[in-house]
Amino acid sequence: MPISILPQDQNGQELFNQELFNAITSFFHTFGIGNLLRKCNAQKEKGVPVLDIFKYKLCNVFADRSMYMQQKTGAFREAFSKNTFYRFLNDPKTNWLRFTTLLSKKVADKVIPLTDDARVNAYVVDDSLFERTSCKRTELGSKVFDHVSMKYRKGYRLMTLGWTDGNTFLPVNSSLLASSKEDNLIGPVCDCDGRSLAAKRRRLAQMKKTAQSAGHHADYVLFDTWFSSPAQLIAVKELGLDSIAMIKKSSRIYYEYEGELLSINKIFGICKKRRGRSKYLLSVNVMVGKDHKIPAKIVCVRNKKNKKDWIAFICTAPDLSEEEIIRIYGKRWQIEVFFKTCKSYLQLITECHSLSYDALTAHVAIVFTRYLMIAMEQRRCEDDRTLGEIFFFFTDELADITFGESFRIIITAMIESVCAIFQPTEEQISMFIEMFVGRLPDYIRNSLTKAALAA
């Protein structure tokens, strides 16, 4: 006998709430979120614990209403007011960059034992547009260049450092970068004590693109053409890490090949290419830099989108094989999936409308925490679905009952009522059902047939 619609909906909602509560509670307990917040100066002065506010902000993405609408509809049942919530986000003393770094390190420590020791781990560095519709009152809001649309947009560049083992991507830390040029600044610049964390955070926002690592083990650093200058390759090498990057086809960037300074286009033009079905067209050893030179290997491959075109990669570990260079660089794509997931599902751009740079920094850190939680859940469950599908697995309620199923429930209830009152024989019941169904319109009969087959 099918159950009624109302209990099914309530049980489904309760099951969803319980699963979500268990997953979040387990994540908070496993990684000691409260201790991490205290280490990063996020402590209560009085009243509501910071962990309660943080948990509400973290979980708010799984609700179908914003805090404002929850208060309007009476669904907001937290023990703190909206002013307490905004004070938490605007607190300039909380070191959110350190928080995400420490949390991602703890998550990575759980992930690394799940992989083979021979597997290559890598840092991935990239930036993405953090767009704002208006920046006149948004602190440090700027005109920033979007290299996807090749136009200037309002907002920030979200500079991100991530870590990957090839299966799981973990955001390590980030910085919302404003323009370093005063002409491109739109929003106000607030004065802070130069020794404070808030001042350091704002100075970092107006520096050239930077990312910081902290304790993660990685073999290589991966980045695209926007960061693959010789100076960047040398700077990473001085940190004790090798780089694998896509080369920008610029006539102003030179590499030393056989004693001559040549651009990548010149090197590709004068060198003999491999024929047949080779995985790469060309592989040459070069020297990178001016005063301080380091050895590197350039590998050119066909562009799959345009067979007449080619793409070049550079690796500062020249002993690495060409196949490995190509394979390892493929892991860089995970950061693009990460940006897409954060923007489309985790409300990176749409949720926070604060004008404070401190609040925006806090919001980004909490979105990164959401991603870390889902990434860990994906790894723990060994689920092959994408992060977007896992997100909807967390948030979707049970599917609404179909028309055919509803009608079948009504007929079953009617037959049981007839049997209880008139007590007919099985032959009379069959005749009654046949006559009743025979008088129904065709589209209802078809729906009942499909529902009966599905059952």
At 248-303, the pLDDT tens digits run: 888 899 999 998 999 999 999 999 888 877 788 899 999 998 888 999 999 999 88
- If asked whether residues 325 and 415 sit together in one domain, one would say no
Contact in structure between 197 and 92 (CB atoms under 8 Å): yes
For the chain, give the percent of residues with pLDDT over 90. 36
Q: Does residue 76 lie in a domain region? A: no
Element housing 361 (H / E): helix 357-381
Instruction: Name the nearest CA neighbour of 341 among 181, 162, 155, 134.
Output: 162
Q: Does residue 54 lie in a domain region? A: no
Beta strand pairing call for 260-262 and 255-257: antiparallel
Contact in structure between 160 and 171 (CB atoms under 8 Å): yes
Per DSSP, the residues of 365-402 read HHHHHHHHHHHHHHHHHT--S-HHHHHHHHH--PPPPP
Q: Does residue 265 lie in a domain region? A: yes
> Which amino acid does the sequence have at 288?
V
Compute the average pLDDT of residues 292-317: 90
- If asked whether residues 228 and 324 sit together in one domain, one would say yes
Contact in structure between 313 and 329 (CB atoms under 8 Å): yes
Quote the tokens at residue 218: 């990685």
Q: Does residue 9 lie in a domain region? A: no
Domain interval for residue 415: 403-454
Quote the tokens at residue 385: 């679905």
Cβ-in-10-Å burial (0-12, 13-18, 19+) of 420 comes to exposed
Quote the tokens at residue 192: 């802070």
Which one of 330, 346, 375 terminates a domain? 330
- If asked whether residues 229 and 326 sit together in one domain, one would say yes
Say which DSSP state 350 is in: T
More confident residue, 16 or 195: 195
Compute the average pLDDT of residues 336-357: 91
Beta strand pairing call for 242-246 and 220-223: parallel
Q: Does residue 106 lie in a domain region? A: no
- If asked whether residues 323 and 226 sit together in one domain, one would say yes
Local confidence band at 134 (pLDDT 50, 70, 90 cut-offs): confident
Local confidence band at 213 (pLDDT 50, 70, 90 cut-offs): low
Query: Does 384 score more than 50 pLDDT?
Result: no
- Cα radius of gyration (the chain): 29
Element housing 263 (H / E): none
Q: Does residue 310 lie in a domain region? A: yes
- If asked whether residues 408 and 312 sit together in one domain, one would say no
More confident residue, 209 or 62: 62
**pTM of structure:** 0.78
Question: What pLDDT, on the 0 to 100 scale, is given for residue 397?
Answer: 42
Number of domains composing the chain = 2
Q: Does residue 131 lie in a domain region? A: no
Beta strand pairing call for 122-131 and 220-223: parallel
- If asked whether residues 324 and 416 sit together in one domain, one would say no
Query: Does 178 score more than 80 pLDDT?
Result: yes
Which one of 299, 330, 361 terminates a domain? 330
Which one of 282, 301, 330 terminates a domain? 330
Question: What pLDDT, on the 0 to 100 scale, is given for residue 285?
Answer: 94
- If asked whether residues 229 and 319 sit together in one domain, one would say yes
Quote the tokens at residue 184: 């491109």
d(CA 122, CA 292): 25
Compute the average pLDDT of residues 405-421: 71
Contact in structure between 164 and 121 (CB atoms under 8 Å): yes
Compute the average pLDDT of residues 132-141: 88
Local confidence band at 447 (pLDDT 50, 70, 90 cut-offs): low
Q: Does residue 413 lie in a domain region? A: yes
